[in-house]
Chain A
Amino acid sequence: MRDPETLDRRTRFSDLLLQHRGRLFAYIHALVRNLADTDDVFQQTALALWRRFDTYDTSRPFLNWSMGVARYEAATWLRTRARDRLRFSDELTLLMLDAFAELPVDEVSDRQATLPGCVDKLTEQDRSLLTECYQRESDVATVAARLGRSARSVHNSLKRIRRMLFDCIERKIAHSIRE
């Protein structure tokens, strides 16, 4: 086991960021709702964390500290780059920080590991729709126009697929806990 005292600053920072990246990334994604934008805000957050790492109080959880910085970076990003995008109140983003931080780290990794099997169970048509919406990062109206469907119908399909996947993950995790 490595002794923290002997690790240099950069390695300690990398370890902490890698350890908490899943929940940090998900929190930013929940605030900005676009994968490319989430990547940008994540990069800016990581740089800001690195710059302030000397002031980090190691008695506090790294995740809460990093999410606090991410919350600020996301708010700045939304204010300057996506003014027309509807967003949560400041009070809620602060409360949401705790909700994401309280997700057990094992559960986060279990959920990630379980998802591919659940996606495999979808129909080809449903997977194709997910690719249209998630890979191309198109909004629902654009996807609907491309597919010759209504926005409402595409929204309903996405809702149904997300719920199927969410329920599938919940079932599999519950099953593995029982075992």
Chain B
Amino acid sequence: MTDEPTISDHVRELVDAYLDGTIDTTKLEELDSVLRVNDAVRAFFARYALTHTDLAMEIASRTATERALARLPVQVAPRSSDRIRSSRSVRLLFAASLLLGITIGGGVVGLFAAQSHPKPQLAPAPRTIALDFREKHPGTLADQAGASTGFTHRLPGTGSALAQYDTNLRLIPEAGRLEVTATTSDLNTRFQLEQAEFPGIRLSDLGFTGVEDFEVTVKVVDVPAMAFVGQFGIYAGVSGDWVVRGGLVSQRESESYRQFVVNTRDGRDKDAFFIGLGAPGDDLEIRLSRKGGRFSMAVENRTSGATSSLTNRHPEFLDGRADIVVGVFACDPRGKDHKAVRFADFRATVWVPQDR
């Protein structure tokens, strides 16, 4: 243990990049020169690298142990004395249940009677649209090269000025990504909605009638740096005026995001809720669901390992509406250098009664 000197974040970043092999020649030369002239940084490096080595050994031993334990027989045959003890135990339990039955006889009979005629109750069955962006879906919204993305609709009231071959969309099948370049637009105050990017699908295409539970998830890979209030994520709504949406919104501080969920009521953002932090380079999974009539949103930051649940005022304006569209969005109302948001694995599920 040392009285560790202050090591700058930049030097720590160089050390981490060196240890996991992502360092480039220029940064290695920089790290090399820092380490050559600074004893304290070398001492820090030695301890940090020691943790790296110990970690490699620790993980190897843990994995080997798990593998060894997994090979052990699942059940050991009971010894004869155990079998005798078990059968005695069963007999004792049986006798005890008889005594109990005599004591509360009517209740026991009633219980058995109820169990012998269970009412058939089928759980709603999930119907899912899954877009992994690895294949084209003819007849759906086309990207800049004419490749069909899989999204069938746009949020009504948005995107009316976008080209048929949408220059803001780029399907990358080999990577399983759909890049959506943010545009100068925002649902709040209906700002340039004609060029707002809100591609999606209709829940009614999955049998949704307005009352069923549903869930929408999407992954976002390598979050880009956006200007203040630049935002992206997923939404559910009936028009640009009536929507619940959430994801990440860029902050005033450079390269800083907050997770958010907000209702747009009659063209104005209301009931906003913010939590957690994010940063460019993060990978996320965003989930918006309505279960038992209650909306909830969760953002799992796959980079930081943190998961946040976001709840805000219930968007009652969506209750009973059968015409809900769900999808992804990217807006950058104040930015000049619009960035592409990389979406992957979009899924929308509706739980529909099995007798329908």
Contacts and interface: CB of A to CB of B under 8 A. Distances in A.
Interface of A: 23, 25-26, 29-30, 33, 35, 38, 85-86, 88-89, 91-92, 95-96, 98-100, 102-103, 107-108, 110-112, 115-116, 119, 123, 125-126, 130-131, 133-135, 139-140, 148-163, 165-166, 169-170, 173-174, 177
B50 A174 contact: no
Contacts of A38: 53
A92 B47 CA distance: 16
Contacts of A125: 302, 305
Nearest to A106: B1
B22 A95 contact: no
A38 B17 CA distance: 19
B60 interface: yes
B283 interface: yes
A26 B56 CA distance: 10
B67 to A, nearest CB: 10
| B: interface residue count bin | 35 or more
Contacts of A154: 303
B344 A148 contact: yes
Given A30-B53, A156-B303, 13 more contacts: A30-B45, A88-B28, A88-B32, A131-B59, A135-B60, A135-B63, A139-B20, A139-B21, A140-B20, A153-B303, A162-B52, A162-B55, A170-B1
Interface of B: 1, 4, 12-13, 16-25, 28, 32, 35-36, 39, 42-43, 45-60, 62-63, 176, 219, 221-222, 279, 281-283, 302-305, 342, 344-345
Nearest to B345: A148
B1 A174 contact: yes
A96 B282 contact: no
B281 A26 contact: no
Nearest to A38: B53
A30 B54 CA distance: 11
Contacts of A153: 221-222, 281-283, 302-303
B222 A130 contact: no
A89 B21 contact: no
Contacts of B345: 148
B221 A96 contact: no
B52 A107 contact: no
B50 A103 contact: yes
Contacts of B304: 156-157, 160
Contacts of A91: 36
A26 B24 CA distance: 22
A170 B43 CA distance: 14
Nearest to A159: B16
Contact of B45 (A85, A99, A163): A99
A100 B51 CA distance: 12
Contacts of B25: 86
B281 A92 contact: no
Contacts of B19: 33, 162
Given A88-B32, A89-B32, A149 B56 contact: no
A103 B58 contact: no
Contacts of B48: 162, 166
Contacts of A25: 53
